[in-house]
Amino acid sequence: MVTTMRIEHFSRAAKSLLFICLPLFSCFAIAHQHTQETSNSTLEPVRVLYGGYIIDMTADKLPEPKNLVIEGGKIRRILSPESDIPEGAEVIDISGQYVIPGLIDSHVHLDSFKNKPRTVRTQQTEDFLRLNLYGGVTSVRDMGGDLRLVMELKRAAALHEIPSPDIYYSSLVAGPQYFAETPDRVEGMFRAWPQENSPWQTKIEADTDLVQAIAEIKGIGSSGIKMYAGLDRETAARLSAEAKRQGLRVWGHAALMPAKPSELVDAGLEVFSHINLLVWEAADDLSASFLENNKNYSLEFRKSVPDISALLKKMAQAGAIIDATAVIAENINNEKQVIAFLKMAKAHNVKVCSGTDMHGLLNKDWPGLFDEIYFFVEKAGYSPWQALQAATLNGAAATGVDHDRGTIEEGMRADLVVLANNPLESIRNLESVLLTLKSGVVYKRDDL
Ligand SMILES: [Zn+2]
């Protein structure tokens, strides 16, 4: 069933591509390619994105028209529009249109449909992923859930078996308090698993063998750990060191209770999720219990805007990244604080990336990530270019994939979005996506 749909999909994509091919070059090769196996990007033809304005993320300058030569899933050459077209290449004429790097949602939860039957969960998650890919999102970072579902999706996405951004996921690690205080959430993630611990949700106690725990996390293909709650500075530092030793990224909530944000910078946390949690830097003394902290500190405190300059300086120095998830501020009703912290982060040159926490799930035509980007520009005073940088280069750095994506440069993966209108003129022009390319494979917006 799935295979048939995929073939139909690509046939449609191939047909609709015909009209944008320059007549000089034969397009039969594409039509043929697309009805064949497309799971291996090396089978894709050499493509030239012809004459589009390139918006790169390494420098904020006026976009210039270029030809992008794409081969083997990568950007091989970036040439002037007058240069020769490689023989036999499929040419997609995007003159007058705009190209940005593929967008990255740095905070999703693909296992968000708990307690629903497997078929429903899979379908809803795949719908979410499709909407994102056709809206220009080419990578997502999953920040916690039952990874048994997510692992299969990661494979299918990487092989282009489903239209989906590439998926990078984390394993949640937390202290005993978290497990005691949120039994429902814990049980939801462990269902039908024989032990109390699992490699996607690990309880860290004083005597936990961290080498073994991290090895198990690595063994299920996680890209990083997500330090979630109930960890002090020392435990966080030990976890962080072992994760890095085994080649994993170190992600987590911006405050871990009892560890404060600045202690987490010392402990080696690389990406700090939820900018609102930086408020805990101003707390006197934190307990390992969320519930207790919420009792001891008023709602007023939790929504306040203390001076966190010293913390931000430290973060900038350490190269830490804030995964803002600003858009959920509406839900938690603390927009003022989130806006103020975003502005402070910008003033202190702290890198910020954009994640949604799955905001606006499936209710719209466009990825929830757009709302996060709009928030940066329309509420927190980021320029469109800065907001796009958060959603591309900084997202790639946060995810640990900046060696091959996040910018438009020779040698980088061909993760690209073609827009009809200039997003630097108005960020809302993101809603003019025509094509998404993921490792060189073309997804046409009209086929969504
Ligand atoms: Zn989350």
- Tell whether 430 is covered by a domain: yes
Nearest in space to 354 (alpha carbons), one of 375, 333, 340: 375
Q: How far is the CA of 406 from the centre of ligand 1 (A)?
A: 22
Q: How far is the CA of 228 from the centre of ligand 1 (A)?
A: 10
Q: Dihedral angle at the C-alpha atoms of 194, 200, 205, 210, nearest 10 degrees? A: 110
Coil vs helix vs strand at 140: strand
Same domain? 287 vs 426: no
pLDDT tens figures, 49-69: 999 999 999 999 999 999 999
Q: How far is the CA of 158 from the centre of ligand 1 (A)?
A: 23
Same domain? 231 vs 375: yes
Strand partners of residue 64: 54
- Write phi, then psi, for 396 (nearest 5 degrees): -65, -40
pLDDT tens figures, 160-177: 999 999 999 999 999 999
**Residue 11 above 90 pLDDT?**
no
Q: In the prediction, which pLDDT does 31 show?
A: 34
Q: In the prediction, which pLDDT does 27 show?
A: 35
Same domain? 199 vs 132: yes
CA distance 426 to 105: 20
**Residue 38 above 80 pLDDT?**
no
Query: What is the full DSSP assignment across 46-60?
Result: PEEEEEEEE--SSS-
CA distance 330 to 335: 6
Q: How far is the CA of 142 from the centre of ligand 1 (A)?
A: 8
Q: How far is the CA of 122 from the centre of ligand 1 (A)?
A: 19
The protein residues having their C-beta less than 5 angstroms from ligand 1 (an ion) are: 143, 357
Coil vs helix vs strand at 167: strand
Q: How far is the CA of 107 from the centre of ligand 1 (A)?
A: 6
Q: Which CATH number characterizes residue 122's domain?
A: 3.20.20.140
**Residue 396 above 80 pLDDT?**
yes
Q: How far is the CA of 60 from the centre of ligand 1 (A)?
A: 31
Q: How far is the CA of 212 from the centre of ligand 1 (A)?
A: 26
Lowest mean pLDDT among 105-109, 120-124, 360-364, 395-399: 360-364
Same domain? 292 vs 247: yes
- Tell whether 133 is covered by a domain: yes
**Residue 317 above 70 pLDDT?**
yes
- Tell whether 406 is covered by a domain: no
- Tell whether 163 is covered by a domain: yes
Query: What is the full DSSP assignment across 84-133?
Result: PPPTT-EEEE-TT-EEEEPEEEEEE-S---TTS-HHHHHHHHHHHHHHHH
Q: How far is the CA of 358 from the centre of ligand 1 (A)?
A: 8
Lowest mean pLDDT among 66-75, 97-106, 109-118, 349-358: 109-118
- Tell whether 306 is covered by a domain: yes
Percent of the chain topping pLDDT 70: 91
Q: What mean pLDDT, rounded, does the chain reach? A: 89
pLDDT band for position 8 (cuts 50, 70, 90)? very low
Strand partners of residue 442: 437
The range of the structural domain enclosing residue 69 comes to 2-101+412-447
Q: In the prediction, which pLDDT does 106 show?
A: 98
Same domain? 301 vs 377: yes
Range picked from 24-28, 64-68, 112-116 for highest mean pLDDT: 64-68
Q: In the prediction, which pLDDT does 14 show?
A: 36
Q: In the prediction, which pLDDT does 333 show?
A: 79
| pTM, full prediction | 0.89
Q: How far is the CA of 252 from the centre of ligand 1 (A)?
A: 10
Q: In the prediction, which pLDDT does 331 show?
A: 73
pLDDT band for position 29 (cuts 50, 70, 90)? very low
Q: Average pLDDT, stretch 315-344?
A: 93
pLDDT band for position 197 (cuts 50, 70, 90)? confident
**Residue 5 above 50 pLDDT?**
no
CA distance 218 to 35: 36
Q: How far is the CA of 136 from the centre of ligand 1 (A)?
A: 21
Q: Say if CB 419 and CB 433 are below 8 A apart.
A: yes
Residue type, 75: I
- Tell whether 405 is covered by a domain: no
Q: In the prediction, which pLDDT does 34 show?
A: 39
Same domain? 394 vs 309: yes
Same domain? 206 vs 355: yes
Q: In the prediction, which pLDDT does 184 show?
A: 78
Q: Average pLDDT, stretch 97-116?
A: 91
Nearest in space to 256 (alpha carbons), one of 234, 237, 270, 236: 236
Same domain? 24 vs 117: no
Q: How far is the CA of 226 from the centre of ligand 1 (A)?
A: 10
Q: How far is the CA of 101 from the centre of ligand 1 (A)?
A: 24
Residue type, 340: A
Same domain? 28 vs 168: no
Same domain? 279 vs 296: yes
Lowest mean pLDDT among 27-31, 299-303, 325-329: 27-31
pLDDT band for position 121 (cuts 50, 70, 90)? confident
Q: How many domains does the chain have?
A: 2
Q: How far is the CA of 24 from the centre of ligand 1 (A)?
A: 49
Q: Which CATH number characterizes residue 82's domain?
A: 2.30.40.10
